[in-house]
Chains A and B, each alone.
Chain A
Amino acid sequence: MRKPGEIVAGLCFLAIAIGFTVGAVKLQIGAPTEPQPGFFPFWGGVILIALSALFLFQAWGGRVTGESQTFGRLGGPVVVVLTLILYVAAMEKVGYVITTALLSAVVLKVLETKPLSILLVSLILPVASYLLFDRLLGVTLPLGWLSAFG
């Protein structure tokens, strides 16, 4: 059975392969006697183009081996990834402890945790991990808004 997701995956591989091949040509390929920086990625790109084309051919005919999984409820992963993107943007400024508390709350909420547990874990985990990694193991974590208390 033809699966649109596999065709999209094949097209992604093809696009990456073409990107590397074109980039390698710009870097200069050279010759076997004197290979240039683009030599290896060029031939890698060409091989990946061929493999991606074969994969697309198989996917179009619904003959791809290696069983794909079905997507379950996508809400959870999407919410957590979006929260992580915001987390990356805010971590330096707001600080590790506050952003991690919010991140933990979102992950726990997605995993259907009771409100009291969310509150407790979101309070304890960021502080405990900060003390363990920053103070004990020497990993410098940003304090951000809480730096006045640090």
Chain B
Amino acid sequence: MDFFQNLAGGFAVALTASNLFYCAIGAILGTAIGVLPGLGPPATIALLLPVTFKMDPVSAVIMLSGIFYGAMYGGSTTSILLNIPGEAASVVTCLDGYKMARNGRAGAALGISAIGSFIAASLSVLGISILAPALASFALKFGPPEYFCLVLLGLMMAVYLSEESVLKGMMMGVLGLLLGTIGLDPVSGSQRFTFGVSRLTDGVDFVVMVMGLFGLAEILCNLEAPENREIFKTALKGLLPTREDWRQCWASVLRGSTIGFFIGVLPGGGAIISSFAAYAVEKRLSKHPERFGNGAIEGVAAPEAANNAASTSSFIPLLTLGIPGNASIAMIFVALMIHGIRPGPLLLQDHPQLFWGVIASMYIGNVMLLGLNLPLVGFWVRMLKVPYRYLAVVVVVVCVIGAYSVNNSTWDVGMMVFFGVVGYLLRKFAFPASPFILAMILGPMLEKTLQQSLIASGGDFFTFINRPISATLLVAAAFLILTPAVKHIWGKYRL
């Protein structure tokens, strides 16, 4: 009964005129950046953070969340029509989506993608509504040792599941932890690594860094070779899947939703991995795996369902444990902190209107996105005809304004350019940015809980092993670190 009352309260918050407006803005912007290759959700959320400073925190989070999950809807459009994923999570959709378009079935591919996404996201929101309160109340039992091990496990997950090598992921994670120490020591308050620069007292500005690493870096990479995009010309008819299409892929949508939901809950999991996992599962289960890669509708339905379910469920660790699982969610974490709201198990207790308002807005946002993506698909296709050079220059200008607006200072623009160059080089050498971002965000929490645990236990490191929850989390983290090494040694001596 409480659940329905809370959800009704959430709808009362989400259905106010201003929150509906911000939800719609988030959904439209999310779809746009999902459609347009070049600017992903983390950079867009970072760019819009300064705009949210004066907004009501609930409205701010509703809008920023809409951008994140809206991008998953839009990302499939470019995959299907251009063979270029608008979003990394839609890479796998290219395989069969583009083939379907080539076979004259672009409308069906776009249709099943939008409807499958809607079903998956709706199921995932239902999952959050039920699971999040239970997890939040469980997390209230956590002390510093449990939190330390949980953050460590989250970082290990981000490293382990990063698409590049585990070693590079670990290097980026530790680098993020070290850069996170710049500024004031969280316990003693003394300055560290500021080199007398007063602007570094508050640490490296996270918003500016993300704009550089994700926004400018992407543009610099694309400046190397001006691209010629060619939109596949086809009549967009028959957007609603046929009965035969449904017969073929309803189970794929449900499987994709389930896989996406559970992978999304894992810190470091998220939309990209879930879409690949769902595609692999479908191909393995299919009686005709040879159809995959040649325009199988299940190859579009499952990954699109998975990436939408995952993007929605990745709010669970943020809202219940205060642990952001990916770079976009990390930006929403920053938005909450800017508004003086600490995400974590007490969020539900202290700010129920925010917790349930955001969840209710996801139900509404997904209905809006279905409306935006099916009837308006022609509009998004036309938007793709805008040459990349104009998009690139707008992104550069918006990055500059976004960085400047944080403190009205050109120092931040300079830092944004610096991190843009760093991000460009990291991409070139295939160092993943996500573990770095998460480590920077979670570093202060990791350090604080480590110091609290050690001081409380008189410097006894066994405090992490003596407590059952922290011991379990630590074993899981150790398993993730050791698995690649064990695999390597096993493979070496077996061969």
Point out residues on A near B: beta carbons under 8 Å.
5-6, 9, 13, 16-17, 20, 23, 27, 31-41, 44-45, 47-48, 51-52, 54-55, 58, 64-69, 71-74, 76-77, 80-81, 84-85, 87-89, 91-92, 100, 103-104, 107-108, 110-113, 121, 125-126, 129, 133, 137-141
Given contact pairs A40-B447, A81-B417, A103-B400, A88 touches B175 in the complex (Cβ within 8 A): no
A72–B404 CB distance below 8 A: no
In the complex, what residues of A have CB within 8 A of residue B414's CB? Answer: 85, 88
B455–A58 CB distance below 8 A: no
What are 13 A-B contacts with C-beta separation under 8 Å? A16-B178, A23-B192, A33-B459, A45-B178, A64-B168, A66-B431, A71-B224, A71-B428, A89-B410, A111-B388, A112-B226, A129-B397, A139-B50
Q: Which A-B residue pairs are the 5 nearest by beta carbons?
A: A72-B224, A33-B459, A32-B459, A66-B164, A76-B223
When chains A and B are docked, how far (Å) is the Cα of A58 from the Cα of B167? 10
- B98: Cβ under 8 A from any A Cβ: no
B396's partner among A33, A35, A45, A103 (CB-CB below 8 A) is A103
A-contact bits for B374-415, CB 8 A (1 contact / 0 none): 000000000000001110111011101100110010100110
Given contact pairs A20-B193, A133-B405, A31 touches B174 in the complex (Cβ within 8 A): no
Within the complex, what minimum Cβ distance (angstroms) separates B449 from chain A? 11
When chains A and B are docked, how far (Å) is the Cα of A112 from the Cα of B224? 12
A113–B171 CB distance below 8 A: no
In the complex, what residues of B have CB within 8 A of residue A37's CB? Answer: 185, 187-188, 190, 192
In the complex, what residues of B have CB within 8 A of residue A108's CB? Answer: 389, 393
When chains A and B are docked, how far (Å) is the Cα of A41 from the Cα of B430? 25
Within the complex, what minimum Cβ distance (angstroms) separates B173 from chain A? 9
Of all chain B residues, the one with the shortest Cβ separation from A79 is B223
When chains A and B are docked, how far (Å) is the Cα of A57 from the Cα of B480? 22
B429–A5 CB distance below 8 A: yes
Main secondary structure of the interface of A (DSSP, over half): helix
Of all chain A residues, the one with the shortest Cβ separation from B450 is A40
A20–B178 CB distance below 8 A: yes
When chains A and B are docked, how far (Å) is the Cα of A19 from the Cα of B162? 27
In the complex, what residues of B have CB within 8 A of residue A137's CB? Answer: 51
Given contact pairs A27-B192, A91-B410, A139-B50, A73 touches B225 in the complex (Cβ within 8 A): yes
In the complex, what residues of B have CB within 8 A of residue A126's CB? Answer: 397
A-contact bits for B204-236, CB 8 A (1 contact / 0 none): 000000000000000111011110000000000
A-contact bits for B427-453, CB 8 A (1 contact / 0 none): 111111000000000000011001100
Within the complex, what minimum Cβ distance (angstroms) separates A150 from chain B? 16
When chains A and B are docked, how far (Å) is the Cα of A58 from the Cα of B488? 13
In the complex, what residues of A have CB within 8 A of residue B455's CB? Answer: 33-35
A107–B392 CB distance below 8 A: yes
Of all chain B residues, the one with the shortest Cβ separation from A76 is B223
In the complex, what residues of B have CB within 8 A of residue A65's CB? Answer: 164-165, 167-168
Of all chain B residues, the one with the shortest Cβ separation from A65 is B165
A-B CB pair tally, cutoff 8 Å? 180
In the complex, what residues of B have CB within 8 A of residue A71's CB? Answer: 224, 428
Given contact pairs A103-B397, A125-B397, A139-B401, A77 touches B220 in the complex (Cβ within 8 A): yes
- B421: Cβ under 8 A from any A Cβ: yes
In the complex, what residues of A have CB within 8 A of residue B432's CB? Answer: 66
B458–A68 CB distance below 8 A: no
Interfacial residues of chain B within 66-119, with CB under 8 A of chain A in the complex: none
In the complex, what residues of A have CB within 8 A of residue B454's CB? Answer: 32-33, 35
Within the complex, what minimum Cβ distance (angstroms) separates A92 from chain B? 6
- B461: Cβ under 8 A from any A Cβ: yes
When chains A and B are docked, how far (Å) is the Cα of A113 from the Cα of B54? 38
Within the complex, what minimum Cβ distance (angstroms) separates A35 from chain B? 5
Within the complex, what minimum Cβ distance (angstroms) separates A22 from chain B? 11
Within the complex, what minimum Cβ distance (angstroms) separates A99 from chain B? 9
In the complex, what residues of A have CB within 8 A of residue B459's CB? Answer: 31-34
B401–A129 CB distance below 8 A: yes
In the complex, what residues of B have CB within 8 A of residue A51's CB? Answer: 167, 170-171, 174
A69–B427 CB distance below 8 A: yes
B400's partner among A13, A34, A87 (CB-CB below 8 A) is A87
- B477: Cβ under 8 A from any A Cβ: no
B171–A44 CB distance below 8 A: no
Given contact pairs A44-B178, A100-B397, A121 touches B224 in the complex (Cβ within 8 A): no
When chains A and B are docked, how far (Å) is the Cα of A38 from the Cα of B185? 9
A81–B220 CB distance below 8 A: yes
When chains A and B are docked, how far (Å) is the Cα of A81 from the Cα of B174? 27
When chains A and B are docked, how far (Å) is the Cα of A67 from the Cα of B164? 8
When chains A and B are docked, how far (Å) is the Cα of A92 from the Cα of B407? 13
In the complex, what residues of B have CB within 8 A of residue A139's CB? Answer: 50, 401, 404-405
B192–A121 CB distance below 8 A: no
A41–B417 CB distance below 8 A: no
In the complex, what residues of A have CB within 8 A of residue B171's CB? Answer: 13, 48, 51-52, 55
7 additional contacts (CB under 8 A) given A81-B421, A88-B414, A107-B393? A6-B429, A48-B178, A64-B167, A69-B427, A74-B224, A139-B405, A141-B401
When chains A and B are docked, how far (Å) is the Cα of A141 from the Cα of B414? 15
B168's partner among A27, A39, A55, A107 (CB-CB below 8 A) is A55
In the complex, what residues of A have CB within 8 A of residue B168's CB? Answer: 55, 64-66
- B11: Cβ under 8 A from any A Cβ: no
- B424: Cβ under 8 A from any A Cβ: yes
